[in-house]
Every structure is written in C-alpha cells, then in structure tokens.
Amino acid sequence: MKIKSLIEEMGGVVRVGAKPLDPVSRKIMSKFLDVDRKEFSDYLDYLTCFGGETYLNEVFYKLTMYNNGLPSYCYPSDSPIENVVIKKGEFGCFYGEGESYQTGYSLSNAIKKMENRIPTNFLPIAENNCGDRICLCIKGEKIGQIFYWYHENEWDEDDYFDDFGKTMPEEVKMQNMYLVGENLYDCFNRMILEEE
C-alpha cells in the first residue's frame, strides 16, 4: 500500500494515549461510504493499516492548500464578505469507529457534531487541536478529494440572508473549505515539514 509507505517515510503514526493501533475494517466503514469506490482507497487503506485516534508522529508537518490558499468558494470582489486566505494548516487526529474508540474520536460522533456545519456531501475524517476538521468529499464532482474545514469562517444561513436577501446556495457553503489533496495520499505527500 503506497499510503502506508508514505506514512512510514514521514515518521509513522501514534495513537492517542499511546494505546496500540486499532485498525478499522472496510466492513465498519461501509456504514459511512461506498468502500468499493477507488476514490476512497487511500483513506480506507490508512484506516485498515493504522486505525483512528492516530496522528503523525512528526507533529511539525503542515497541510498545504491548493489555489494559493483561497477557499473553494470565493465571494465576488464587490461583496461585503471577504474571502479568507489560508496557506497552511494543522492535520491533527483521525477519527475511528468501534468499541475501543473514545466518543470524542469516533466517526459517528463527529458526523453528528458536524451535521449542518459542513456541506452534506462531506465526511469529517480528522480534526486538529484548533477546532478545524479534515473532510473527505463522498459525493459529486469532487469525490475523493480532501478538504480543510476552517472553523473561524463558518457559514451562517441567517447571516447570508441578512447580507444578500436570499437563501444561501449550496456552493456558498464551501466558503470555509480549502482543497488540500486530490486524495489522502496527495494530501500527505504535499505536506511540508516545518520546525517551529
């Protein structure tokens, strides 16, 4: 598996609380996505190798955003709303699913917590210590791509209506979503090691 080799080259992973790794089966993941889709193979390979509640052992790796740090949806230049540019981000810890996982790191809990906060065609797969999420697109033209969800620029449908006098279109909900990988392998491969 190429994702396993890449992760090992990057220094491997550690499980929260220094517990033994607990791989997550494709059968368990079939509750959340179509495990036969090739677009999800890197993500599923990661979970079957390392499991959830895991983070990179070398914590100084930073995500690198595509599109010069612009979000997936940009407001026009004459809009009262500014586009927030982010060049780098923290990856954090993967969610898992199963009896050995703490509630705070379970995928099903993350889905409930993020309901109506991320676009409906996304699955939250990881979080960082800053409140941001890493999401996998599970439907549509961006299927398989990895996005950084920035909590400081979270959308609000009521505010949008107040500003524009109409219901928020679905594409506007991408205003705080930043492409970080064409797939999980690409996401990790583009990370930059930055000593702080």
Question: Residue 101 pLDDT > 90, yes or no?
Answer: no
Question: Residue 195 pLDDT > 80, yes or no?
Answer: no
Domain that holds residue 43: 2-193
Give CA–CA dist 114/43, Å, rounded. Answer: 19
Q: What is the Cβ-side half-sphere exposure of residue 54, based on CA atoms within 13 angstroms?
A: 22
pLDDT, tens digit, for every residue of 76-94?
Answer: 999 888 999 999 999 999 9
Structure confidence at residue 145 (pLDDT): 99
Give CA–CA dist 73/129, Å, rounded. Answer: 25
Q: Helix, strand, or coil here: 7?
A: helix
Name the DSSP class of 32: T
Structure confidence at residue 196 (pLDDT): 63
Q: Helix, strand, or coil here: 142?
A: coil
Over range 54-62, report the average pLDDT: 93
Q: Helix, strand, or coil here: 58?
A: coil
Cβ pair 126, 159 in contact under 8 A = no
Over range 100-104, report the average pLDDT: 85
Over range 53-78, report the average pLDDT: 95
CB atoms under 10 Å from CB of 8, counted, come to: 12
CB atoms under 10 Å from CB of 146, counted, come to: 28
| Nearest CA-CA partner of 52 in 21, 73, 74 | 21
| Nearest CA-CA partner of 89 in 18, 175, 176 | 176
Question: What predicted TM-score, i.e. pTM, was given to this entire model?
Answer: 0.94
Count of structural domains within the chain = 1
pLDDT, tens digit, for every residue of 127-165?
Answer: 998 999 999 999 999 999 999 999 999 989 998 899 889
Give CA–CA dist 94/125, Å, rounded. Answer: 6
Q: Residue 194, class by beta-carbon neighbours within 10 Å (0-12 exposed, 13-18 middle, 19+ buried)? A: exposed
Q: Can you name the residues that pair with 177 across neighbouring β-strands? A: 149
Q: Helix, strand, or coil here: 160?
A: helix
